[in-house]
Amino acid sequence: MSTIFSKLKTSIPLMLMLSFTSMQSCDILKEDLEFEEGDNLVQMPDSLKIGLPLLNGSLSFENLVDIPENLKTDENGFYYFSESSSQEVADINTVVEAMGFSSPQALFHVDDFSFNFEKELVEAFGGTYIPGITPEVYTDANVQVIFTVERDQDTQYDEDNNLVKAYVPFTAPVTREGYDMSISYIRFTEGNIKMTLSKETPDVVITGYFENLQGNTVAAQVTSSSDESVELTFPMTGAEMDLWENGAVATALPTIQLTATGNYSPKTLVLTDNNQADRMTLVFNDDANVPAVSLSEQEHPVNFDNELFESGKVELNGENPLLLMGFDFSNSIGTNVKITPELEAYFDDGSTQTIQLTDVNGGDAIDSFILEGASSFEDVTTSSYYVYNPASLFNLSTDKKLTKLIYGGSAKVISSGLDYIQKGDEMRFSMDNFTNADITVNIPLDIKAQDIAFNLEGDGINVDFDIEDQSKGVLKIQAINSLPLDMKMLFQVTTEENKTVLLPINNGLAFVKAAETDNNGNVTAPTTFTSETTVTTEQLRAIAKSKEIKITVLVNSPDTDGDGTPDKFSKLNKESDINLKAGILATITNGNSGE
């Protein structure tokens, strides 16, 4: 027997105790009260009419089931299940694998970066460079070392301004696929840029400093060494180099400015091998078809407490737009990612089900979707996708329960609207890149219920006087139902002898029709059930001397076509209930009336 009724005791006084004290005779001293001749004693009537109340209260959905924490109500009072959790889909390792790098550290490390000025200077001053033969070129000109994404840009000498411009292409890390890329932005966490120079005379002082750096601006470096060969060191920790803006080469490129008090000759420039970055943007110098990579298989437990009913069948309304299992993807990776998901649902009965997604809740199934790339390192883009036909995954009874999701699939980096990377596109990466999925489940209690049973019980009446022969009564029951559910109610009592007796109404049964609803399942008007039945002496004794009353409620959604199967969905609301009133107007005979 269900213990659900224990909650009803506080709200519905199922059996109100009614006791009568028997009238007893007593000796009254004559001196206390004398009777005059002719006085008449008051006689007991042959019968008394008394009311025996059985039920008086309301029964709501919360009185029938144990309400779990994740069963909530919306602003209009309608019930719905809600659950949310988060799961990682991809991180920087996924992108690294897609691009063909061996590790995140390899992606954020610039390999073998160096630049030789000797040939560049000779040709800038109009000479022909022959290795090992052409002598060094010394100049007192200012030298600009300009970092750029462009390749094969010749060093130039501006005679009017006595200025040498040397363009240093900033190369990208080498990938297994050999994509043609350049670094268009980088933020260093470690490393130095070192330049070697020679002086025509030891007394020449050379000064070098960086311009157009972001972040930690590199301080000017000054040498006054008497050596003929010197080295300038530019610490790059915290420095940011931005070489690209709005789809073109930046107008203010990072530049090392060199000045000297006499003739000197730049020799080499290197980025130390201990360099490391935490942010980087790569620009593609040509189209690239980056192959898809497999997503590591993830298991997501589903501890969704949605087992409301211990019997019967419940069908969710799959047409309800609020019924959804959604994935809100957050993407901090600075490139578009095409996801081809593989999703599988696992149930506690050992069965599985393949899950498809849709880009519109209630829309058609899709095979893949695009996660838009973040527009900056601080930006996170969001995209929402939904499980196609989520009603098939959830059951509100105990016979089948979703326990976990396992998902994988593949990811491919692409340009917007294309299935490959287009020339000139950028890809933005950081060490803390992520793609997460916030999983949300909403299940409105918009259901088609069939043969859901509830057992309720409470104390009986057990009056302390005898029900004499010839006593009888009339049982009256009234039910006003604002729940959108048909209810078949069986009323029974347990006697002192532990016998079960049905209330004398249609073999103990009362059929209460569901409240009237509109096309959307909203209650528009309650229905009323009334019954009046004669109660015999034996029935009256059983009820009046009962120690327990039991009500079995069989719940069904409306059967509008009369085929015996529910065919209309019912939306359950916190404010809806069934108000029950029941009692017996009993005629109790005097046990001495027959003498």
State the average pLDDT for the chain.
84
Residue 39: per-residue pLDDT:
53
Residue 300: per-residue pLDDT:
85
Residue 481: per-residue pLDDT:
96
Residue 64: per-residue pLDDT:
86
Residue 314: per-residue pLDDT:
87
CA pair distance 470, 590, nearest whole angstrom: 9
Residue 218: per-residue pLDDT:
57
Residue 461: per-residue pLDDT:
81
Check pLDDT > 70 for residue 516.
Answer: yes
Residue 223: per-residue pLDDT:
60
Residue 215: per-residue pLDDT:
67
Phi and psi at residue 407, in whole multiples of 5°?
Answer: -135, 150
- In this predicted model, which residue has the larger pLDDT, 306 or 315? 315
Tokens of 213: 């750096």
| Residues forming beta bridges with residue 487, ordered by sequence position | 512, 555
In the chain, what is the straight-line distance between the N-terminal and C-terminal CA atoms, in Å?
46
CA pair distance 193, 269, nearest whole angstrom: 7
SS3 431: coil
Tokens of 377: 């390192």
Residue 1: per-residue pLDDT:
35
Residue 31: per-residue pLDDT:
42
Residue 36: per-residue pLDDT:
52
Least confident of 4-13, 58-67, 329-338, 489-498: 4-13
Residue 14: per-residue pLDDT:
37
Q: Which residues contact 35 (CB under 8 A, 6 or more apart)?
A: none
Q: What is the pLDDT of residues 330-345, one digit of tens each?
A: 999 999 999 999 999 9
Spatial contact of 357 and 387, defined as CB atoms under 8 Å apart: yes
Is residue 146 within a helix (H) or strand (E), and if so which, with residue range? strand 142-148
Q: What is the pLDDT of residues 163-217, one digit of tens each?
A: 999 999 887 777 767 888 889 999 999 999 999 999 998 888 888 888 888 865 5
Check pLDDT > 60 for residue 153.
Answer: yes
In the chain, % of residues over pLDDT 90: 39
Strands 352-355, 324-331: parallel, antiparallel or unpaired by DSSP?
unpaired
Residue 55: pLDDT band (50, 70, 90) is confident
- In this predicted model, which residue has the larger pLDDT, 499 or 16? 499
Check pLDDT > 70 for residue 6.
Answer: no
Q: What is the pLDDT of residues 7-51, one digit of tens each?
A: 333 333 333 332 222 223 333 333 443 445 445 555 556 778 888
Residue 594: pLDDT band (50, 70, 90) is very low
Check pLDDT > 80 for residue 239.
Answer: yes
SS3 346: strand
Q: What is the pLDDT of residues 525-543, one digit of tens each?
A: 999 999 999 999 888 888 8
Mean pLDDT for the stretch of residues 410-429: 90
Residue 229: per-residue pLDDT:
84
CA pair distance 202, 228, nearest whole angstrom: 5
Write down the pTM of the prediction. 0.72
Residue 135: pLDDT band (50, 70, 90) is confident
